[in-house]
Structures are given as C-alpha cells and as structure tokens.
Structure 1
C-alpha cells in the first residue's frame, strides 16, 4: 500500500527576498524533493521521514530551528496537500500539523483571501457573501460551475484542501552563455549590435528548444585595452523571442556604449520555466505580457524608451527630450539626438 503523501511548507513572513536561498538550503537538508513556491515559500516532501527525524511535529520543529540558525524566522505547515500546508504555515505561529483527512475542517475558518484571488474574483465572492474557505467549499458545485466555470471548480477544490498536483522538483539554476571574437576591433555600435543579435539568436534557440525563457540577460565586452565593459537587462516578463531580446540589448548598449573598440563579446542568459496558463472564457481580455514586452523592446530600439541598465525598465523620454530633436539632414525627419 502506497504511503499517504505528506508535504511541509516553509514560510518566511519577513525577509523573503533575502531568505529564499536559505529556505532552499533548509529544505534540501531534510528532503530530496523540494519546490520553490515563490518569495518566502518552499515546499518539501516529508513522506517517510519519520524514521530519520521523528514524528511530523518534530520534523516541523527541526525545520524551524534550522531556519533560525540561518537568521530566518520561518513558520512551518504540514498537511497532505500543497494548499493546506501553505495556509497552515501562513496562519500558524510556529509549527502547525494538519492530520490526514482533516484538511477541509481545518481550512473552513480560513479567510478566502488566502487563495490569492484576482481583484475581480475577490469582489465577486465578496458580493456573494463568501468570506471563508468553508463558505466557498459548501457552495453547490453545479451552480458554482454555471457562474464561474472551471476556475470556480478549481477554487472550490482548493478550499476543500484538494490539491493533488505533484511537486515540481527544484533544480540548480543554469546559465546559458555564448561568446564571439570577430578577429578585429569593433568600433561602431551598429556592428556591435549585429554581433549581439547573433549571440541572442543562438541563446534563444537553446531556450526555446528546452521550453525555457530568460528573466535576465547579461553582456560583457572585452575592450582592446583589456578592460571589460558589462551590463544587464531584465525584461518585464521572461522571454525567448530573439527580436525582442536583441532590441532590448541594443538599446541598453546605446545608453551605455563601450569606451573603446571591442575585441570580444559574451552574452549570458538566466533561464526560467514559465508555467503555461490557459485563459478562462469568462476572463476579461488582457494584453499578452510577452507581446507587451516585445512592443516595449521595439520602442526602445526606436529611441522612445530609455532602458535602465540594472533593472531593464524603460522610461519614456519626456518633453525636454522631444524638444531637443532636430530634423535630420539626410532623411528630413525628426530623429533622436545622437
């Protein structure tokens, strides 16, 4: 007979950004199956660990102590599903264990806002007087499907503690890197941009082949005087479209050009896996984040955006910039200043 799955959730209410790496270390020291759940959240499979660390309450205390040794105050929830463990960790003060089969009863009094609802869904449930997960779990399922579709059924299953999704095992982050040495000194931004575009094509091909995107691109130019000129771009959303990435990098290079001729260029990408999402037929139309990022990249390439070298966030150039534009002697149009 297969053992009942038991999951633990580590939740760091403070210092989530700085503590993600430490939380991962704590989880990996106790279980080989670990998943990142977002800022300040880590899940781990504790099934069958009783023989190593004791009962589940003791496992929770060990996890909390291990986090404290690394300077983190972590709350631990243990249950049979991801949603139950997460809510137990967020609602509890230290260690909370929800017994097998007790998820629905434990979650009944929890506020429905713990499901991370969209603003529209939260407003709709509030109009219906749905305040707790128990209220949502008790709604007639057919009527809920008629009004909210498949999303309503998904939320109701979560409210009942039903979340059978397997953990997505954490993997050490990899870095995709490509370099080029043209054999001569590159002295113009146009030629440098062409070299970067070639590197982008190769990296984006690797990303797409593996079903990945990248949330940060770093470039390094080795100059003729042996110094290194570096920079990075973080797109608004992870992407793997070569044209959009190349436009962002070219705009970043134009905003911070190298101080001299370039002998070699290296481009690195930090890959991430973007979970596929299917929009509900009842959802309001929203622009695609990737298409929006690609549009911003094209605007940056045309000189209408000023990308931040550190964060990759564009700033629209204001009236003072527009006032400085003058007509180009070659094309007669108003072009950005050199």
Structure 2
C-alpha cells in the first residue's frame, strides 16, 4: 500500500472564518495595507499590497476586515474534526491548510474514485473556499494543487514529474533562500534532482536539504494528527418547560444519534453515558446509564434510558437536557459480531444491562472482603462496575473454594423438629462434612457449618451453635 496524501487549502480563510464566502467586496487589511481580497474586491481592482486609501478609492463598498488569528485557527480545527470522518490522520498545516493521509482508507470508500467523491461532497458543503492538492508525501500534496482529472492513483514517477515542473517561485521557501537558489540559474525544482544531496546541503543549508528530502519522499515526514474532541458533550434547551418525562424520549433519541455518529466517525464505543436534566428550580438531576460492554448503538442506549426514566420523579419541569459520553474506547468487533448466528440466544450481558437499569431491584454484584465471619466477607458493588485491578498478585484464598456465592447477612434462624433443622417447613438433609468457626473475641458461640440439601432441590449452607440453635447462612 503506497502512501497517498490529500491537501485541503482554505486560501480565503482569514476573510471567511466569520460568516463564509460573501458576494460583496471584502479585504483583509493590516497596517493600512491590503493583505488579501476576495473575488468581488479583486474584480473592482483591489489587489494585495495596495494602501487602504487606494483600495477604498477603487471600491467604495469595500468591507474591511482585520486579521483574527484565533478565529482562523478555530475554523481550521473545526474543519479538521469534520474530516476525521474520512481518515484519523488529519494534520493541521498552518496557517490555512489541512493534510490528510488517505492511502490506508481507499478500500473503505471503494477505491480512489469513491474517495474523491467523498472529498467533492465535503467541498460542496464546506462553508469556505477550498483548493485540493494530491501527492505521495505531505509536502508534495501541499504543493501539487488542483490536479488534473484522474481515474486512479498516479504512479510515483508521475508525481515526480509534476513536482519537477514547479518553479522556485511556487515553492514554500523563505524569500532569501529562494534568491540564493535562483542566483546560480535554477528555475525549477526538477533542475535540483540530479545534484548530489551532500552538495546541496553544504551550499544551501541542512534545513533546505531536510525539506527537499521530505518533499521527495527520500526522508520520513512524521506529522502530528489532529486529536478528536473529547469527551462528547451536548445540551438541548427547550422553549417551554417539560413536565412529562415521556416528552424527553424524542430529544434523547436525537442526542444519542449525535453520539452514535461521533463514535462511528472514530470507530469507538462507550460503556457509560450521563444524562443531565436541568430543572426549572435551578437544580440538576443526573442519570448514569451503564452497559456490561462498551457499545455505540442508539436502540440499546435509548431502551436502557427509558427503563431508568420510569423510576425518575421530577421535582420541577425540565428546562434543558444534556448528554455526556463516557471515556471512548477503540472498537474491535469480534468475528461473531460480524457474522452472528441467526438462531443464537441473546447474550446475557443484555439482560444484565436491563436489570441494572431498574433501580427498584437494588441489584448488586457480590464480592469478597476480608472478615472473621462468613457474612462479613461479602460486600456488594454495582452490577456493571469493573473490579479494580490488584496492585500486587493476589494471595492464596484463606477460605475454601466451595463456599456459597449468596450469603445472608444476617443469617436466618431455622426451626428444629426432632433435632433436624427445617426450612420452609421441610427438613434439611445434612452432609457429614463439618467446618468449625470459633470466634470468642466476638462474644459468639462456636459455629459448626454443614452443607445441607432441601427437598425442593436447593443446596444450602447452614451452621449450628451451642447457644442459639440452627441458622441458614447462604445458598450454593
């Protein structure tokens, strides 16, 4: 796979960063000199370098703008984030260009023509004037602007021929360096091709040699790509307060659609989202929705959100709705996700997510904790919470592996008939193995634990102490 770069230039970005292209004459001015003019102003005779007074004399309706570097940079970053839908390698090239590495995503768009169709669609809807460049390296794409119609990716030799035709005036070089190159009689870049590289570096400087080698692909040209904005945050304010939670379903679906588009653009998923209900009384209610595994589909998030809303009580009407996405994680679908079995059961993770969205169930995941008595060793954590990674290798368990998963705290007393413990009015059959707990410092009698079988088929963990009789500790 050969490298291929696209360059998108925004030649009038300083003039258009505010409200886009306009038909009226407009010029960018600095220290009473025209730095840039739009087509309408140029048609009236306004050219770069004119004094402001002369430009106004030529065009009475001239609109003057001062350079705003902040607005220009913000507009460039915004366009770069839009282009992340095409490739993750979008590199800013200040002051008004973006460089896109597209060689690795040609198959994604069905080949070179499909990629160009997406670029043309972007340029058609882009609010700024654009020019396109194409090349095998970032610098080559920056210089080879407005390529001819192409059926496929040009060969490297063709790119080299196009670069060779560039005059020194067309190269992005400092004026003094350009004069030094023109002094011996060089006029085009191709005239420098046959010269030994060490001699070029010795005569015109190491920075020029480094630039030339990166332009021609003789040396790597690493670029820092634009980082996508994180985390995802959106808010919608309502014209009229909403006093019915059912009216939130449609705006929630819209916000989830924006989240899904953002995740799809970067091939990511999230394991949790956070809803914010901005109330009329100045308060804010926050609802956290979690999933067993990171996901990006709107339907599941909306279903879990609706289940959670069924148990929400509004203290005041809702004035606004906010959505925060969790920490995005790279999406790496497994083969089973690509080719699911039509007759397969739904994964248990989906059932767990729905149960966890019902706060009335008070669902928790049992976990182990150090303690003297069995009921003290069990603690509960959120059902979808991931256990913390151990700081050190875990020690060998101090308790047998055949302990029940469900422990009762406190233990339930059992009735006794004919010296046999009963539960639910039915006798328990005790297995002969016995385990003894002695905790005199707890001011409790010694416990003798047994595994018992109930006629209903349940396997129980029971104990007997000499003071209070039989107790039910848990279930296997």
Higher helix share: 1
Short-chain TM bin:
0.3 to 0.5
Which structure is larger by alpha-carbon Rg, 1 or 2? 2
When you count strand as a share of all residues, which structure comes out higher? 2
TM-score where L is the length of structure 1: 0.44
Higher relative contact order (CA 8 A, sep 6+): 1
